Amino acid sequence: MLIGIYGLMAKREPIKLVLSINVVSLGLVLFFIGLAYSPEKDVPIMPTDPVDPLPATLMLTTLVVDVAITSLALAIILRMRRDGS
C-alpha cells in the first residue's frame, strides 16, 4: 500500500497514477487475506472448525470495484488525450 501511495505522490503520468492506485488496492487485498490466514483450520464448507470466510468474500467485492474503476480511469485518460489536455 505504501509503495502505491508513494507512486501517487511522485509520478506525473496519468497511467502510472492508475497503476499506483492498483498497487494500493492489491496491498489492501493482501491485508485482508492475511487477516483471515489460519493454516490449521478447516475450509468453510460444511465445517467443524472453519476459517473466517468473511474477509475473503469482502475482498471479492473490492476486486470487482477495482476492475470497474480501472476501466473507467483508463477511459477517462483516453478522453483526456483526445481533448488535448
Partner 1 sequence: MIPLMVAFPLLFAFVIVILDTLRAKRTLIKAAFLLGVVLPAWVFLTERGREIVGGWNRAAGIEVGISEINAPFIAGELILFTVVALYSIPYFDFRNKKTPKSLALLLLLHAGLMGAFIAGDFFNFYIYMEIASVSAFALVAFSDEKGSKRAAFKYLILSLLASYLFVFAIGIIYMETGYLNVELVAENALPSRELQAALGIAFASLLLKAGVFPLHGWLPDAHSIAPTPVSAVLSGAVVKAPAYGMILLFSALPPRETFREAVMGLAVASVFFGIAGALLQKDAKRLLAYHTVSQMGYVLLGTASMNFVGAAYYAMAHSLFKGGLFLSVGSLGKKSRKLGEFGYRNAPLMAFSVLMLSLAIGGVSPLIGSYAKGVISSGLGGTWKWAVTAGTVGTLVSFTKLNYHLSKGETGDLAPIEKLSALVLALATLCAGLYLGAEPKLSDASYIFAAVLVFFALKFSGVLEREVRGEAKDVGKDVNVLVAVFVTFMLGVLLIQWP
Q: What residues pair up with 50 in beta bridges, in sequence order?
A: 42
Q: Give the Cα separation of 2 and 85 in Å (integer).
A: 29
The verdict on 62 binding partner 1 (CB under 8 A) reads yes
Measured from the CB atom, the residue of 33 and 42 that comes closer to partner 1 is: 33
Burial status of residue 59 (CB atoms within 10 A of its CB: 0-12, 13-18, 19 or more): buried
Among 19, 25, 45, 49, binds partner 1 (CB under 8 A): 25
Measured from the CB atom, the residue of 9 and 45 that comes closer to partner 1 is: 9
Q: Give the Cα separation of 55 and 29 in Å (integer).
A: 9
Q: Are 51 and 43 a contacting pair, CB within 8 Å?
A: yes
Measured from the CB atom, the residue of 42 and 53 that comes closer to partner 1 is: 53
Q: Which positions touch partner 1 (CB under 8 A)?
A: 1, 5, 8-14, 17-18, 21, 24-25, 28, 31-32, 35, 54-55, 58, 61-62, 65, 68-69, 72-73, 75-77, 79-80, 83, 85
